[in-house]
Amino acid sequence: MRRAFGLRIGMTALLVLGAWGGASLTPAAAAPEPPLSAGLLTAMQRDLGLTEPQARERIAQERTATALQGKAERAAGDAYGGSWFDASTGRLTVAVTSRGSAAAVRETGAAVRLVQHSAKELDAAKEGIDRQAAQSAKGAPRGVSGWHVDPKANQVVIDVVASRRGDADVRAFVDRARLAGPVLVEAAMREAPATFAAGTVGGDPYYTGNVRCSIGFSVHGGFVTAGHCGRPGAFVRGWDGSGMGTFQGSSFPGDDYAYVGIGHGWWTVPVVLGWGTVPDQLVRGSAEAPVGASICRSGSTTHWHCGRVLGKNETVNYSQGAVHQMTKTSVCAEPGDSGGSFISGDQAQGVTSGGWGNCRGGGETWFQPVNEILWRYGLTLHTA
């Protein structure tokens, strides 16, 4: 596995360099859409129950929705209430609080839903719950797994573990949270979220101390990954046990991201690994996919799995402390997948943080958005 992995990376690098080396300086027409990864299509068919034509159509629809988000938000102005991709219609839906803004949003090509609360109001309510948890000596109770703004529900959703909904500390937390604004309580989770780091296991991408985690995305000079995998200065070993580099920056809890600088003969390439399960996926950018869009994850334990974006800007309540501005997905993960890549089409989305459940019985996983990590450390994503 190790030898095959090294050869695959080397071949990918040569193919990418070969493509760059043959580039023409002559002006040309707009480039066609890059070919879709067969592995991505296979994973979407398996995990989302789609046929290959349906998966291709979904990707095309989501690209359009992703490109439309910013324009639609600007058209809505102060009436903007959030947006999401609606798989049933194949369109971006934008929530607005006034009929006057609805017409301007429709002109962008997006569908419109009238709602009561603006995105600013919902964000303020969520921030109030964040402060409530931070001001408590014990933080949020373990029966509360997290909270996030849900634009489709037009409320702040508090997720609680189903078996602990009746706990006194959970009820008290929810009662105080309702004072911050419109709150909806959901008790769908079977267990509390946890990070996905793991003890050392042979044949996987990198180790720090006795912890195994997964590489997120290549950046110029190294890669990004989860913050709970190592502290600044921690030495990193690669999949073959050789020295790879060190954690240059790391934040957890509060955030869950890190930057590892590499050397010792290691190099970066703009790919997400298929681990022999599916072909590798080229990374071409980091445009943020909307809520409702399909998304796939690659990790060193469970390899490729796909699902949907369920929510953004969520606060996740781990046992080590709360982590903010996370994105929630329906994708499963397991220990050792921490730090691994979340990708939508060929666009980098974030690094795996934690979740609940597993890839045998199902579950949910959160990731830290990659653009925040790039901004925080002044990094440039390595793209094809």
Residue 97 and residue 155 in contact, taking contact as beta carbons nearer than 8 Å: no
Set 204, 255, 256, 346: catalytic member = 256
Sheet holding 211-213, edge to edge: 198-199, 211-213, 206-208, 235-238, 243-251, 257-262, 222-225, 217-219
Using CA atoms, how far apart are residues 375 and 347, in angstroms rounded to an integer? 17
Angular region, 345: left φ>0, alpha ψ -120 to 50, beta rest:
left
Residue 171 and residue 187 in contact, taking contact as beta carbons nearer than 8 Å: no
Q: Per DSSP, which regions of 52-177 are E strands?
A: 80-86, 91-96, 111-114, 144-150, 155-161
Cα atoms found within 13 Å of the Cα of residue 254, Cβ hemisphere only:
5
Angle between helices 168-177 and 119-135 (to 10 degrees): 140
Active site residue 130: no
Using CA atoms, how far apart are residues 252 and 304, in angstroms rounded to an integer? 25
Cα atoms found within 13 Å of the Cα of residue 309, Cβ hemisphere only:
34
Set 117, 228, 303, 382: catalytic member = 228
Q: What is the per-residue DSSP string for 209-221?
A: TTEEE---EEETT
In whole angstroms, how far apart are CA 362 and each of 47, 195, 334? Answer: 11, 16, 10
In 3-state terms, what secondary structure has residue 150? strand
Set 145, 338, 341, 353: catalytic member = 338
Active site residue 256: yes
Using CA atoms, how far apart are residues 357 and 328, in angstroms rounded to an integer? 14
Q: Which residues are catalytic?
A: 228, 256, 338
